[in-house]
Amino acid sequence: MILHKLVAINAKNLEKQKRKNFPPESKKSLILMCFYHFCKFYLNPFQKRGEENKIFLFFKRKKMVSLLENTWCAALKTQIQLKTGCFLKEKKAAQKVGVEVKVWANVKKIQPPFILGKILNYDSIFNALKNLESAPHTDFLEESALHLAKVLFRQHPLVEVFWVKMEKIEIYQGSATPSIELFLTRKEWENLN
C-alpha cells in the first residue's frame, strides 16, 4: 500500500524533481526512485547512523557501474619517492608513496581492440608518475593526484575516467597508512579547468 502511494506521489512530482539522479527513459528508473524515497523517508528513522548510508551507497555504486560498462581499463601500481607533506619531518626529505593508477577508455572507440597499448600506454603512465618525483615539494597529496589527472587526460585523449590512489607508507612507521583517492571523469575534469 505504501509503495503504491509512493508511485503515485513520485509520478506527480517527476516534473518538479527533474529526475537529477535517474534518467527519464524507463519505468525502471521510476521504480528505483520510489524505492529510494521509501528507504529514505520510511526506513531511515529505524536505522542506526552507520547503516543509513548503505542505501545511498547502493545508488552511487549503480551509477559508477553504468559509467564503467563496456570499457577497457589499464592499471599500474608502483612506489615513488615524493616530496610531500606538511609535517616538519616530511619537509626534510622525500618519502616513499605507494601509487595505483587506473584509466578507462570506451571499447567502441578502440578499434581494433588489440591496439589498446597505443592508447592506454603504460610507459606514459609510469613516466608521469616518475616525473612527480622531480616536482617541487607540495604540502598535500591531493595536488600530486590532480597534477597526474591533468597529465594523463592530456596525453590520452580517449581516456574517459581516471582513478588514482596514493598511500603514505612510511610516515607512521607501519602502524597506519594514510591515503587519498581520486575518481574523476573527463567531463568533470574539463569543468574544473
- The pLDDT of residue 49 is 47
Domain annotation for the chain: domains and CATH numbers: 2-67 (no CATH), 71-192 (3.30.1130.10)
Map the chain to HEC letters.
Answer: CHHHHHHHHHHHHHHHHCCCCCCCCCHHHHHHHHHHHHHHHHHHHHCCCCCCHHHHHHHHHHHHHHHCCCEEEEEEEEEEEECECCCHHHHHCCEEEEEEEEEEEEHHHCCCHHHHHHHCCHHHHHHHHHHHHCCCCECCHHHHHHHHHHHHHHHCCCEEEEEEEEEECCCCCCCCCCEEEEEEEHHHHHHHC
Residue-wise pLDDT tens for the chain (193 aa)?
444 444 455 555 544 554 444 444 455 454 555 455 544 544 444 444 444 455 444 545 555 566 788 888 889 999 999 999 888 888 888 999 999 999 998 888 888 877 777 677 888 889 989 999 998 999 999 999 999 999 999 988 889 999 999 999 988 887 888 999 999 999 999 998 7
